[in-house]
Amino acid sequence: MDAIERGILELLARQHVITKAELFGRFGQNGVGSALERLREQGLIEKVESLGTSFVITKAGIRKVQKME
């Protein structure tokens, strides 16, 4: 897991939901899209498209963060 993926997971563990725009503002545009895709493929986050594009952490993602601590 790279630094961007870890940062996204840790942020979502605290906030539970975040918009794509907030992620780009926090981490920049380089690598965020691919990091989000890798986290989704692993089942650690899910994409929600109700009021724009947001991401939420899954139970598996929360467990992963707890193991990293």
Report the pLDDT value the prediction gives residue 41, as an integer from 0 to 100.
Answer: 97
Q: Per-residue pLDDT tens for 18-69? A: 999 999 999 988 899 999 999 999 999 999 998 788 999 999 999 999 998 7
pTM of whole model > 0.85? Answer: yes
Query: Which stretches of the chain are assigned E, i.e. beta strand?
Result: 17-19, 45-49, 53-57
Return d(Cα 45, Cα 67) in angstroms, integer: 16
Report the pLDDT value the prediction gives residue 68, as an integer from 0 to 100.
Answer: 87
Report the pLDDT value the prediction gives residue 69, as an integer from 0 to 100.
Answer: 79
Return d(Cα 21, Cα 19) in angstroms, integer: 5
Return d(Cα 23, Cα 16) in angstroms, integer: 13
Angle (CA) 28-32-38 rounded to 5° is 170
So where are the chain's domains?
A: 3-68
Q: Does domain 3-68 have CATH number 1.10.486.10?
A: no
